[in-house]
Chain A
Amino acid sequence: MTAAAAAVGRLPLESRRVKAIAASLAAVLLALIVGGLLMMIAGGEPISAYGALIDGAIGSPAALGQTLKLVVPFTIIGLGLALAFRGRVYNIGAEGQMFMGALAGGALAILLPVGFGPLLIALAIAAGVLGGAAWGSIVGVLRARWGVNEVITSLLLNFVAILGFTYVVRRPLREPGAPDLQGRAIQESAALPTIPDLYIHIGIFAAIALVPIAAWVIGRTSFGFRVSMLGYNAEAAQTAGVRSRRMIIQLMLISGGLAGLAGAFQILGVAGRLDPGISQGYGFTAIVVALLGRLSAIGVLLAAVFVAILQSGGQAMSVIEGLPYAIVLAIPGVFVVFLLIADRLARG
């Protein structure tokens, strides 16, 4: 145990942290410059375009509410992925796990004859977590039991989950008389309360509360320490008594469960019905968020806010400046590559 602990802390902690932050900031700057270049390629003017973007993201209470609506899933899913990635369990199936959570939570919120709102909401949220965790556990068991590559299985299961969701919306839980692909509305009592003026559901408090909890789990608990050991050197961790198979399944349950939670929030707090449009690839965006946040809890929150501002302000930017919205989708991808390089260079 001590040998592994010593290996983890090879470099002085403080200088590592300073370099890591510097590398992140440099990558942010470079990515924004590339984003500016893309805007110029598209015939726009970067300064005013970024201005329109910021204004569209946080310029009014309603805009801020829109941005926070994205912060919720990005943060919740990103935290789970950060933890899993720390243990080198590369779950890229959060999109599917989110849809499974949305399906389970949403179905309950539609069908369960419970009149008491808080109870119904609690049950629907629990179902969402379970749905996501169950979907994630398939990947975990396959990897833990037979060593099947989790990156590919989790990715393939995304397609299956979304098709499953589509089927339910198209057939058993379709809104009667509605045009294409609209699922039934949830019971009124199941809708999450919203904060007046901001139009953001109370899931935002859950997302913010999860940040210190995740930080505590990662940094202060023996579980978090074992995850880091597993990620740093699986063999040494095994020797030190970490039960890696169990950990892999646990990490998939946690990251899948959090994705499911985000899915349930999307139904109960945003869409109000079973709606295939609850995610614009948020499960994939959360991968970016986890990586940009350098797999730390605070980092995930900051990255989630950053990416949410980009995406929510991007709409306003594209309307006002006449630029393609997809610019804001390209910036995070560029960002991750820069971060990988900057990170490596900072470590020397």
Chain B
Amino acid sequence: MDWSEVIGPGALVVLISSGVAFAMPMALAAVGETVAERSGVLNLGLEGMLLSGAFVAFVVAYYVGSVALGTAAGIAIGVVLGALMAFLSVTLKTEQIINGIAIVLLATGLTAFLFEKIFGGEQRPTITGLSDVEIPLLASIPGIGEILFDQNVLFYVSFALAIGVAILLARTRFGLAVRAVGESPAAADAMAVSVGRIRWMALLICGGMAGLGGAVLVLGQLNLFETNVSGGRGWIAIALVIFGRWNPLLVLGGAFLFGFTNALQIRVQAVSGGISSSFPYEVFAALPYLVTLAVMVAATVLARRDAMPAALGVPFRKEAGA
């Protein structure tokens, strides 16, 4: 095969550009998950929130014809599932891991049912995609311009929101409270910070971001819906949080790196002959999962857990008599 078709001049910019766009749903969900985990709640329901966001956003956009409304609806359903996760994990204090798995099962079942109900036997309904909007001047910067400033509107909004949440976590009073309840809930409680309320809010933000990720996936990228359209992106996002060591900007960077790797494998697969090639295409298809796995193992081994929020996964109970 001809490598210049993959990483030659011109090809590389397209590759990075599509990689960044591909990564966006995962990046959004991963940044949201970072907030939840920094507050001390391991939200394994992310895949379900992403899938539900994708479904509701698609249905609304399909019938109302408005991408903006669809996106808002996607965020809204994510927030609702975030609230369910918070109710189970923070209010009822049931096992977080099981709650997360339950939310994924719930979302998978309900979206499958509603999809079949609403679209009948149609396998892959489609909508018209958003067209790319060039930002004047910025788009003409060689390389970067095409990568970051010649995408669709949803991309810009998402990018701004992801950065916004990163700033929220790092630079605001609320962010400080989130980090405090995740590191040392007892100390935060002694400082009159409501651990429960902060964790609730963190999960609502997380759900909203995952729902937005789902909306971006179907409205800004695939322009279609099919059963289980999220295809493991929520799980990959959780791995990205570990890879990014619970730092939202690193998580975001990790997501884009992952997106690039994936765009690369798709391109290599296409250039080398795809399914008819003598080289098994399954190896390419498995790469994103294997890369995620390898990176997560490496990050866990090297990070030695010091970056992990100390109270992650532990429900907060006030000491008796306090």
Contacts and interface: CB of A to CB of B under 8 A. Distances in A.
B105 A167 contact: no
Contact of B292 (A147, A156, A164, A331): A156
A33 to B, nearest CB: 15
Interface stretch (B3-11, B71-79, B110-118): B110-118
B297 A142 contact: yes
A85 B116 CA distance: 33
A186 to B, nearest CB: 22
A336 interface: yes
Nearest to B227: A326
A288 B282 contact: no
A149 B116 CA distance: 34
B239 A284 contact: no
A152 B108 contact: no
B296 A326 contact: no
B232 interface: yes
Contacts of A149: 238, 242, 296, 300
Interface stretch (B90-98, B132-140, B142-150): B90-98
Nearest to A159: B289
Contacts of A157: 289, 293
Contacts of B102: 291, 333, 336-337, 340
A156 B239 contact: yes
A74 to B, nearest CB: 14
A160 B283 CA distance: 9
A341 B106 CA distance: 14
A92 B109 contact: no
B141 interface: no
A334 B116 contact: no
A333 B282 contact: no
A260 to B, nearest CB: 20
Size class of B's contact patch?
Answer: 35 or more
A343 interface: yes
B305 A147 contact: yes
Contacts of B232: 155-156, 159
Contacts of A170: 280, 282
In this complex, the interface size class of chain A, counting residues with CB under 8 Å from chain B, is 35 or more
A26 B300 CA distance: 41
Interface in B220-235: 232, 235
Contacts of B98: 85, 90, 291, 340
Contacts of A326: 109, 112-113, 115-117
A248 to B, nearest CB: 14
A146 B106 contact: no
A3 interface: no
B235 A329 contact: no
Contacts of A1: none
B127 to A, nearest CB: 22
Contacts of A159: 232, 286, 289
Interface string A189-210: 0000000000000000000000
A167 B280 contact: yes
A107 to B, nearest CB: 16
Interface in A299-345: 324-327, 329-334, 336-337, 340-341, 343-344
B297 A146 contact: yes
A343 B94 contact: yes
Contacts of B99: 340
Contact of B97 (A146, A151, A341): A151
Nearest to A285: B105
B212 interface: no
B293 A153 contact: yes
Interface in B227-256: 232, 235-236, 238-239, 242
Contacts of A160: 286, 289-290, 293
A148 interface: yes
Q: Max chain A CB contacts within 10 Å: which of B44, B93, B102, B242?
A: B102
A38 interface: yes
Contact of A333 (B106, B115, B283): B106
Contacts of A343: 94
Interface string A124-145: 0000000000000000001000
Contact of B110 (A88, A167, A330, A344): A330
Contacts of A16: none
B219 interface: no
A41 B118 CA distance: 11
A43 to B, nearest CB: 9
Nearest to B288: A159
Interface of A: 38, 41-42, 85, 88, 90, 92, 142, 146-149, 151-153, 155-157, 159-160, 163-164, 166-167, 170-171, 284, 287-288, 291, 324-327, 329-334, 336-337, 340-341, 343-344
Given A160-B293, A329-B113, A336-B105, 18 more contacts: A41-B117, A88-B97, A147-B300, A151-B97, A156-B235, A160-B289, A166-B282, A170-B280, A171-B280, A287-B105, A291-B102, A326-B109, A326-B112, A326-B113, A326-B117, A333-B109, A340-B88, A341-B88
14 contacts: A42-B113, A146-B300, A146-B301, A148-B297, A151-B101, A156-B236, A157-B289, A163-B285, A287-B101, A291-B98, A324-B117, A329-B109, A330-B109, A344-B93
